[in-house]
Chain A
């Protein structure tokens, strides 16, 4: 264990030190090879131009290298592997995809993913917006916001344990130690096995993600609400609008752009949701989702990389429209910066 701590500290020093040495050293070398000081005017201008051509690449080089190895190459390789067999050696065409759409578990995952996509972003945005509006009106609003925001810091696994305890089931007649079943029993109902009741269990898993992500939606939307010009609301009040009209007709239309950002961000997160399903049910009782199914096939029976890759590609396809929209949006806003 001591060796481990020493090696971690060593890595920090090597990593940070290496970066400093690289950036500083590469600059020094560039300045030495193409000197701009102490040479004749024309040569200095020439060398400055050459420096200007090379230096940006020294700065972006390490980042580009790492991003290429860890993201760009894998994306292309995953695409290729999705047309190969389980070992990744023989070309099998579309066999993995046709397998996927014939597989009961895969179709169940697609269905559940669509369910998650329909419910979670909408619920997070809705609750986030409501809480943002309500907390703006009261003196302890910031404390309330902090508490709703807090689950965002909790890991999906930690949140799963927290909610598994909420959903804990004991047979009828016994003392319930899960607060949900205790509440149900208190109200005269029968205790339920929440997470292993097919179909409905999906919603009990979704609650966990909604619980985590509502704080995110709330913070973003709250800052957008603060940006609404006071006059538009005052004008509506003078015209006799009631609070609900002000909310739906004056406030919401002015923050549509932000709502779209929140919605898409959570949509991407939902497509990748893995930890919650793995720890709560591991896909049993018809609660499988694509990301967990993909992880499963990476290791199932020694690992089937072809099928795993095909599932990853299908997740990726769902993200592509959002990706294009993001890039367009960024180009329109900044035109690529200064």
Chain B
């Protein structure tokens, strides 16, 4: 197929460009939050993340020291100081004393403020204000300046969201929901899949049809009755209705049709000779399943585990219905949704939190992509 078209140099060049454009559109948005999450939060709000590597400039206002700091030297009065605090790495490119013209003078120039008063502001923020007469008043001179700061990258945002915004706790909650909800369905589905693939019993065809039908049932159909059921059970036994046990079982239930479908089609494709020779040797169905089918099915079990893990980790709807919104039960997706409401404009919090929530699926995805793709190809009727 590779030789089918695009033989000319121009044609091949066009293909490279086209793919490059697609790749750019598909990666730039994610890159944006990764870069932003590592930027200084003051820089993040004044310049686009794509300029993160270049110097950004900002116009600010400051004030010189007041008259009480003046020193007399050679018959003139001077006030000296620095507009920046210690350790400030910014540089001043221009300054002024009027709000209308904040960048009237270049850094290092001597500005004439009238009555013989002069002001010199250097690029490192230091200034000298001189006057033939003594300075008066309790407030210093207002100075406007344009400061440029070198790119600053920091992990402060991660510390903030993990430890004071509650993302760290939600991370633990997400793991608590995801790991049992991924492991429990596997064994249950594997047994059912084996029975549906290799055992003969009345009603088998109907069960398979039901499973395939349930693959596409929208989750929305289940929510209200289950919510009522959970509330009823909670009331009856005097226990909370929103528990981790409840969501583990819910995710197991919602994941089972896909698990059975995926595992059955794989197990049904295992070679018949192996099963039959084991049976002739006197192995029971149970032994065949444990000793032959389970080990041979490892790839498809891994595929399902990845699917279920990603599905549960990324789920918002089920978590919102079956778990509470307290910090001890709020999962990452729910927390991120809450932050979108409460910290709407604080992009340093949002981008960092978003990156924390997507990093685990991305790692799982990249390290196990082979199994993921195999599962996708085998079970592409499930709607996510």
Contact A246/B4 with A11-B244, A154-B314 known, Cβ cut-off 8 Å:
yes
Question: In the complex, what residues of B have CB within 8 A of residue A334's CB?
Answer: 265, 268
Among listed B74-82, B133-141, B156-164, B375-383, interface-contacting one = B375-383
Among listed A93-101, A105-113, A174-182, A196-204, interface-contacting one = A174-182
* Distance, CA A8 to CA B269, complexed state (A): 35
- For chain A, the bracket of interface size reads 35 or more
Q: How many A-B contacts are there with CB distance less than 8 Å?
A: 384
Q: Which of B22, B215, B377 contacts A220 (CB 8 A)?
A: B377
Query: Which A residues between 308 and 328 are near B, CB-CB below 8 angstroms?
Result: 308-309, 311-313, 315-316, 319, 322-323, 326-327
4 nearest A-B pairs in the assembled complex, by CB-CB distance = A70-B253, A268-B383, A243-B5, A155-B314
Q: What does the 1/0 interface line of B105-127 toward A look like (CB < 8 Å)?
A: 00000000000000000000000
The verdict on B10 contacting chain A, using a C-beta distance below 8 Å, is no
* Nearest CB on B from A13, distance (A): 10
* Distance, CA A243 to CA B5, complexed state (A): 5
Q: Which of A62, A150, A160, A219 contacts B362 (CB 8 A)?
A: A150
Q: Which of A16, A56, A75, A326 contacts B199 (CB 8 A)?
A: A56
The verdict on A161 contacting chain B, using a C-beta distance below 8 Å, is yes
Q: Indicate if the CB atoms of B179 and A8 lie closer than 8 Å.
A: yes
Q: Which residues of A contact B (CB under 8 A)?
A: 1, 4-5, 7-8, 11-12, 15-16, 19-20, 23-24, 27, 31, 52-53, 55-57, 59-60, 62-64, 66-67, 69-75, 77-78, 81, 88, 127, 130-131, 134-138, 140-141, 144, 146-158, 160-166, 168, 175-179, 182, 211, 214-216, 219-220, 223, 225-226, 228, 230, 233-234, 237, 242-243, 246, 261-262, 264-269, 271-272, 274-275, 278-279, 291, 294-295, 298, 305, 308-309, 311-313, 315-316, 319, 322-323, 326-327, 330-331, 334, 336-338
Q: Indicate if the CB atoms of B285 and A55 lie closer than 8 Å.
A: yes
Q: Indicate if the CB atoms of B248 and A338 lie closer than 8 Å.
A: no
Q: Indicate if the CB atoms of B254 and A70 lie closer than 8 Å.
A: yes
Query: Which B residues between 198 and 224 are near A, CB-CB below 8 angstroms?
Result: 198-201, 204-205, 207-224
Contact A161/B208 with A67-B253, A230-B1 known, Cβ cut-off 8 Å:
no
Number of interface residues of B (CB under 8 A): 129
The verdict on B28 contacting chain A, using a C-beta distance below 8 Å, is yes
Q: Indicate if the CB atoms of B333 and A155 lie closer than 8 Å.
A: yes
Q: Indicate if the CB atoms of A155 and B218 lie closer than 8 Å.
A: no
A162 to chain B: closest residue by CB: B29
Q: Indicate if the CB atoms of B249 and A19 lie closer than 8 Å.
A: no
Q: Indicate if the CB atoms of A62 and B340 lie closer than 8 Å.
A: no
Q: Which of A64, A265, A266, A338 contacts B192 (CB 8 A)?
A: A64
Q: Indicate if the CB atoms of A338 and B268 lie closer than 8 Å.
A: yes
* Distance, CA A66 to CA B9, complexed state (A): 59
* Distance, CA A175 to CA B56, complexed state (A): 11
Q: Indicate if the CB atoms of B187 and A74 lie closer than 8 Å.
A: no
